[in-house]
């Protein structure tokens, strides 16, 4: 059975593009489209990597990340954050909360795909200006 990604994102066309890319790469992609219930979705899906948007309906990606890091079962789970906000303070906040990698939209498909692969292997993704 291949590795799985939980994509927590609310933009339908971004969901479609990322899902297509990951599935073509052999990943099983599960989806959660809002902030509320995201932590429970992670617990249920037990993915190898989480791709997490920052601005979500109901709850921010930062809050979700913080909860994941306070739970022993998800403390080490690789989390790739995607955000339309690339401000320094957002990156610092994500780093403080324990993000594995941080990418700003619009992102390169190849870099996003490589980051997911690296994270699942326990590697540190190459940074193209997006801080981790």
Partner 1 sequence: MTATGLTGTRIRDRRLVQQLKQADLARSVGISASYLNLIEHNRRRIGGKLLMQIAAALKVTPTALSEGADVMLTRQLEALATQGVEVEGDRIDEFIGRFPGWAQMLSDQQERLTKMEARLQGLNDRLTHDPVLSQSMHDVLGAAAAIRSTASILIQNPDIDADWRGRFHGNIDAESRRLADTSAAMAAHFDALSNDQPGYSTPVEAVSAYLEQRAFHVAELETDDDISTLMDKETGFQTPGSVDLAEAFLAQYREDARMMPLEAFIRATEECEFDPLQLAAVFSVALPTVFRRIATLPRNPARPDIGFASCDAAGSLLLLKRPLGFAFRRSGDACRLWPLFEALRKPGMPLRETLISPEGKRFAAFAVAHQHSATTFNATPIFQASMVLISDPDGRYSDRPVAVDCPICGAGGCGAWRAPSNLQNEP
Number of residues that bind partner 1 (CB under 8 A): 20
Any contact of residue 14 with partner 1 (CB under 8 A)?
yes
Any contact of residue 84 with partner 1 (CB under 8 A)?
yes
The region of 32-40, 71-79, 94-102, 106-114 touching partner 1 under the rule CB under 8 A is 106-114
Rg of the chain over Cα atoms, rounded to whole angstroms, equals 13
Q: Which residues in 51-90 are b (16+ Cβ under 10 Å) and which e?
A: bbbbebeebbbbbbbebbbeeeebeebbbbbbbeeeeeeb
Strand-strand pairing, 4-8 and 28-32:
parallel
Among 44, 75, 85, 95, binds partner 1 (CB under 8 A): 85
The residue (of 17 and 123) whose beta carbon lies closer to partner 1 is: 17
> Which parts of this chain interact with partner 1 (CB under 8 A)?
11, 13-14, 16-18, 20-21, 24, 55, 82, 84-85, 104-109, 112
């Amino acid at each position: 059975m291949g590795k799985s990604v939980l994509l927590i994102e609310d933009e339908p066309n971004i969901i479609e593009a990322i899902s297509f890319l990951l599935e073509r790469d052999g990943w099983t992609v599960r989806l959660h489209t809002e902030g509320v219930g995201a932590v429970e979705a992670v617990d249920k899906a037990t993915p190898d990597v989480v791709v997490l948007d920052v601005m979500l309906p109901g709850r921010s990606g930062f809050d979700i990340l913080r909860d994941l890091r306070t739970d022993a079962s998800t403390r080490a789970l690789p989390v790739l954050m995607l955000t339309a906000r690339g401000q320094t303070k957002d990156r610092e906040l994500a780093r403080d909360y324990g993000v594995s990698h941080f990418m700003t939209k619009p992102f390169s498909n190849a870099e996003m795909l490589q980051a997911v692969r690296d994270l699942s292997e326990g590697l540190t993704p190459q940074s193209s200006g997006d801080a981790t």
